[in-house]
Chain A
């Protein structure tokens, strides 16, 4: 942000104020009330002018910040923030689709695999009977037909399962797309943060000139144990934080310490 040159401007304001203050002292020593009031008016004038300048910069900065955020993407005229929500909605849609596609394929494949397994178990039983010479000739003819049918069926099923497995692999391609989208949104959020920091610096300059003091930012007082509201927070990204469990084992330990 080119407009954000606070420091080069500041000394001249200070210098002007210093010069006027010295002038004011001289005039007071001189005792001419008209001249004294004249200098006081000049002091006010410098202060007002600098203040308007700074507020002008702040307004311009704010405007540019919003404009810059808007130009984050070539896809639409919409604001960057609006786009970010759209993009995150797209991530939800993509992951939802991929999850359902994967589950569809797995559910289709499970009975085929079960059929292969059941067929093998059945044939093995009969085959063992044959080895023990317990099969009658017509039963053996029946068995060889079954074996033949099993060979064909297993090939069909295995081919289907192979294609389902490779489609399951393909369904994971969302990770690349959603990853890119999330990276862009992350970039946008840090840009917004940067611009907000710049604006705070500009607003600080206005405060300095007007002599406004905001006092200490009031600290969040630690909540009393009773007031602490237990609310849903979603997944904990950092499980090393205090008060966050590291996994199911920790949950089980905690619950068993509570008598579960």
Chain B
């Protein structure tokens, strides 16, 4: 990519983001924070089972997912994404209340790009997103 020398400038504000959380309020908070950061092209799903087909057909650039959800959890969704040839390089940020070291290690091993524990601040979310795309593009 040609615009990777400066992440602040480089972040494509039009990138398509899927926000996955079973609680609509949390989806709304994440969407609001993303909008404040300039990302307006967002869609929502309420668990892994609804998210996966959307990802497979939807041409998304970034996935923000909760962990603890009915149907398919965020960790399983992450594993499915990494196992899918078309999706395996998709950047994934986990935003979750799961706060055990073993769980974080498991998410890292499954190939997560960033991990934010709830409750979180707008600054933390921005920092992690910046870091992910700095690494992805750099």
Contacts and interface: CB of A to CB of B under 8 A. Distances in A.
A239 B73 CA distance: 23
A248 interface: yes
A45 B103 CA distance: 59
A244 B104 CA distance: 10
Given A234-B68, A247-B117, A96 B25 contact: yes
B108 A245 contact: no
Given A244-B100, A255-B104, A232 B25 contact: no
A248 B126 CA distance: 13
B84 to A, nearest CB: 21
B24 interface: yes
A10 B32 CA distance: 68
Contact of A230 (B68, B106, B124): B106
B77 to A, nearest CB: 12
Nearest to A259: B108
B75 interface: yes
A14 B97 CA distance: 57
A239 B102 contact: no
A239 to B, nearest CB: 7
Interface in B1-57: 23-25, 28-29, 32
A232 B101 contact: no
Interface stretch (A99-107, A181-189, A205-213, A214-222): A99-107
Given A232-B98, A243-B101, A245-B117, A103 B108 contact: no
B106 to A, nearest CB: 4
Nearest to A242: B101
Contacts of A255: 104, 108, 115
Interface string A221-260: 0000000101111111001000111011001001100101
Contact of B108 (A231, A248, A258): A258
Contacts of B23: 96
B116 interface: yes
Contact of A260 (B28, B67, B108): B108
B25 A100 contact: yes
A244 B69 CA distance: 20
A233 B116 contact: no
B25 A235 contact: no
A47 to B, nearest CB: 52
B115 A236 contact: no
Which of A100, A228, A255 has most chain B Cβ within 10 Å?
A255
Given A251-B104, A255-B108, A232 B99 contact: no
Contacts of B24: 96, 100
B32 A103 contact: yes
A235 B99 contact: yes
A245 B104 CA distance: 9
B102 A235 contact: no
A185 B28 CA distance: 29
B102 A236 contact: no
B86 interface: no
Interface in B93-129: 97-106, 108, 115-118, 120, 124
Contacts of B100: 233, 236, 243-245
Interface string B68-86: 1100011100000000000
B97 to A, nearest CB: 4
Nearest to A107: B32
Given A232-B73, A245-B104, A258-B105, A251 B115 contact: yes
Interface of B: 23-25, 28-29, 32, 67-69, 73-75, 97-106, 108, 115-118, 120, 124
Interface of A: 96, 99-100, 103, 107, 228, 230-236, 239, 243-245, 247-248, 251, 254-255, 258, 260
